[in-house]
A = this chain, B = another copy of it.
Amino acid sequence: MKGNQVTIKDIARQLGVSASTVSRALQGHPDISEETKRAVNDLAAKLKYQPNAIALSLKNQRTRIIGVIIPEIVHYFFSSVISGIEDVAYNAGFNVIICQSNEKFDRELSNVKTLIAQRVDGILVSISKETIDFQHLQQIVNNQIPLVFYDRVAPGIFADQVIINDMEAAYQATKHMIDQGRKRIAHFAGPQNLLIGQQRKEGYLKAVREAGLEVDPRYIVEADNYEKAQRAILNFVTEGNLPDGIFSVNDITAIGAMKGLQKQGFKIPDDVALVGFSDGRFSGITEPSLSSVDQHGYEMGITATEMLLKRILENKTDYPPETKVLEGDLIIRGSSRL
């Protein structure tokens, strides 16, 4: 932002009129003569004048910027969410600032500070795996900045949220394996401080219990990435208690399990059935292809942003927070089909 960008003053000076006239001409204000308008617009085009968004923000007390806090952009689910957010924001004339927390609490804290300092008009948040303290998020609410949580919500914060029906989807995923005759189903679970981690485990438990199967605590392992899944598989094998089905909290964990099992010579789905979660770009690519729950990231981004824009544009902080629940869709593929 060096000093050589064209301002309204430059145009005013060159045309021998006042800045306000230029401002009005640019806005097509009816008071201004056609002649002046033409002169102003021509010169503006010639000089490639771009209004200074910062000055406008300061004046108008709104930035037309939406801040997004996202755990990790490299995941297909999260980048689809971003696409949804951007599409809606873009159509409404809003810009988007994306901040990655990298799953770190400290970084998330700093992200919130940044977005407040930038005076964004609204904030979309999916909390990090580490986040167990929510003061910074409360701070957003206190500052009366519209806030919508997507996917990973913060308990106790009075704000809109859009989530998927994690418990039901997890239940369906597990039940599907049971329906195929599996008896010893394990769960590779996510962090239990995240609601999604709890809910997916709950759904799993519900299906197991409902089928009258035993809940074996050795079969519930906190494993939410490739490496942990591999290690868990190795444990199962050495201890001689291999499950015949595994429901994983996400796809990459399911793939870690798949690779680990195949390395040990087991066949998928014959020996062990696998179902993941999120339906990333991986699912169709593994051999066999991976059953998974489609989490509809793009739609989630759209919905969250629409909710946020509603708060921003209608300027309503009075009505109570809404929670929208999207349905996750179980996609059955080779890894769990007999």
- Give, as a whole number of angstroms, the nearest-CB distance from A229 to chain B: 13
Q: For the complex, is A14 an interface residue (Cβ under 8 Å from B)?
A: no
**By the criterion CB–CB under 8 Å, are A285 and B255 in contact?**
yes
- Min Cβ gap A56→B in Å is 9
**Which among A79-87, A207-215, A271-279 touches the partner chain?**
A79-87
A50 at the interface (CB under 8 A from B): yes
As a 0/1 sequence over residues 97 to 136 of chain A, the CB contacts with chain B under 8 angstroms (1 = contact) are: 1111010000000100110111111000000000000000
Contacts known (A61-B2, A282-B282, A286-B287); A100 close to B83, Cβ less than 8 A: yes
Q: Is A36's CB within 8 Å of the partner chain B? A: no
Verify if A238 is at the interface (C-beta below 8 Å from B).
no
Looking at A139-147, A175-183, A325-333, the stretch in contact with chain B turns out to be A139-147
Bound-complex Cα distance A50 to B115 (A): 10
* Distance between Cα atoms of A96 and B111 in the complex (Å): 11
A5 and B282 contact, Cβ closer than 8 Å, known pairs A52-B117, A80-B74, A117-B53: no
A57 at the interface (CB under 8 A from B): yes
* Count of chain A residues near B, Cβ 8 A: 55
The answer to whether A9 has its CB under 8 Å from any CB of chain B is no
Please measure, in the bound complex, the distance between the C-alpha atom of A7 and the C-alpha atom of B140, giving whole angstroms. 16
Q: Are B53 and A118 in contact (CB under 8 A)?
A: yes
Residues of B within 8 A of A323 (CB): none
Min CB–CB distance A95 → chain B (angstroms)? 6
For A146, give the chain B residue with the smallest CB separation: B2
A1:B50 contact, CB within 8 angstroms: no
Contact status B79-A74, CB under 8 Å: yes
Q: Which one, B96, B102, B287, contacts A98 given CB within 8 A? A: B96
Closest to A64 in B: B1
CB atoms of A61 and B1 under 8 A apart: yes
Contact among B1, B53, B99 for A62, CB-based, below 8 A: B1
The reply to whether A2 and B145 contact each other, CB–CB distance below 8 Å, is: yes
Bound-complex Cα distance A196 to B79 (A)? 24
Question: Would you call A58 and B61 a contact (CB within 8 A)?
Answer: no
Please give, as numbers and ranges, the residues of chain B lying within 8 Å of A118 by CB-CB distance: 53-54, 95
Q: Is A3 an interface residue (CB 8 A)?
A: yes
A1-B63, A3-B61, A285-B285 known; A117 and B80 CB under 8 Å? no
CB distance from A265 to the nearest CB of B (A): 14
Residue of A50, A83, A86 with highest tally of chain B CB at under 10 A: A50
Q: Which residues of A contact B (CB under 8 A)?
A: 1-5, 48, 50-55, 57-58, 61-63, 73-74, 76, 79-80, 82-83, 86, 90, 95-100, 102, 110, 113-114, 116-121, 139, 142-145, 255, 259, 281-282, 285-287, 315
13 A–B contacts from the bound complex (CB under 8 Å): A1-B62, A1-B63, A2-B61, A2-B144, A5-B119, A53-B117, A54-B119, A73-B73, A73-B82, A95-B99, A95-B114, A95-B118, A97-B98
CB-CB nearest 4 A-B residue pairs? A287-B287, A1-B119, A53-B117, A74-B79
